[in-house]
């Protein structure tokens, strides 16, 4: 039997798919990966998704920058992904933990995004309280959009929304409960929402 202890590693990962709803989607994605500075994260793309790993601040910075860059094409863009930390089955490699904390992508362009998220604190009997706390915080911060089955709606400017998500990820983790998962889906430039 393999040891099933929860990991002590500070590695944060984000496995995601970023979809521009356009025939030239390959060009759009490759352009984003070229123009954004991803040198602070380990990055690998396969035929279904892309994974970035590294320090939490850089993983969130690159995730936001890729999304913002793709959104600026004006195409309808959809992002779906899962942030993870402390997965007991994870390996320690494929990560750049020696990087400093200077953020490499600093585009402040405003961009309305509509999104949904769910938190899954693993092996934590009090996990619903953790979730409710973050939903309440979203309401206080003005980024809460809607209640719904299995998720909560978060919308606003992309910088406010990603800031909320990174803080939620930090808050939901504890020394006792080190395996945390957060799913995020995001829609930008959609004909279905009227944000500006």
Annotate 157-192 with b (16+ C-beta within 10 A) or e (fewer).
bbbbbbbbbbebbeebbeeebbbbbbbbbbbbbbee
**In the complex, minimum distance from the CB of residue 35 to its own copies, in angstroms, rounded to a whole number:** 20
What is the size of the binding site for its own copies (CB under 8 A)? Answer: 59
Distance CA 175, CA 17 (A): 30
Binding of its own copies by 118 (CB under 8 A):
yes
Task: Locate 74 and state its tokens.
Answer: 């004006």
**In the complex, minimum distance from the CB of residue 146 to its own copies, in angstroms, rounded to a whole number:** 8
Burial class for 114, CB neighbours closer than 10 Å (0-12, 13-18, 19+): buried
Binding of its own copies by 73 (CB under 8 A):
no
Write the CB contacts of 62 (distance below 8 Å, at least 6 apart in sequence): 36, 37, 38, 40, 41, 43, 52, 105
**In the complex, minimum distance from the CB of residue 9 to its own copies, in angstroms, rounded to a whole number:** 12
Three-state DSSP at 108 gives coil
The residue (of 57 and 118) whose beta carbon lies closer to its own copies is 118
Footprint on residues 135-194 left by its own copies (CB under 8 A): 146, 148-151, 153, 181, 183, 185-187, 190-193
The residue (of 46 and 100) whose beta carbon lies closer to its own copies is 46
Q: Which of 9, 22, 35, 104 binds its own copies (CB under 8 A)?
A: 22
Q: Which of 34, 101, 125, 140 binds its own copies (CB under 8 A)?
A: 125
Write the CB contacts of 151 (distance below 8 Å, at least 6 apart in sequence): 116, 117, 118, 183, 185
Site residues (CB under 8 A) for its own copies?
Answer: 2, 4, 13, 15, 17, 19-23, 25-26, 46-49, 51, 53, 76, 78, 80, 82, 84, 87-91, 94, 114-116, 118, 120, 122-129, 131-132, 146, 148-151, 153, 181, 183, 185-187, 190-193
């Amino acid at each position: 039997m393999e040891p099933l202890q929860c990991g002590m590693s500070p590695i944060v990962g984000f496995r995601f798919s970023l979809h521009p709803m356009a025939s030239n989607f390959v060009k759009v994605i490759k352009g984003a990966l070229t123009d954004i500075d991803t040198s602070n994260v380990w990055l690998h793309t396969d035929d279904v998704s892309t994974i970035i790993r590294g320090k939490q601040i850089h993983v969130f910075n690159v995730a936001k920058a890729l999304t913002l860059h793709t959104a600026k094409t004006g195409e309808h863009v959809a992002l779906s992904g899962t942030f993870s930390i402390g997965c007991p089955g994870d390996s320690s490699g494929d990560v750049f933990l020696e990087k400093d904390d200077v953020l490499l992508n600093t585009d402040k362009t405003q961009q309305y995004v509509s999104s949904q998220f769910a938190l899954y604190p693993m092996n934590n009997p009090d996990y619903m309280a953790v979730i409710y706390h973050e939903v309440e915080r979203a309401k206080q911060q003005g980024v809460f959009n809607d209640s719904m089955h299995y998720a909560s709606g978060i919308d606003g400017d992309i910088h406010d929304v990603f800031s909320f998500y990174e803080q939620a990820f930090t808050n939901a983790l504890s020394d006792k409960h080190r395996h945390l998962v957060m799913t995020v889906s995001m829609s930008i430039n959609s004909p279905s929402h009227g944000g500006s």
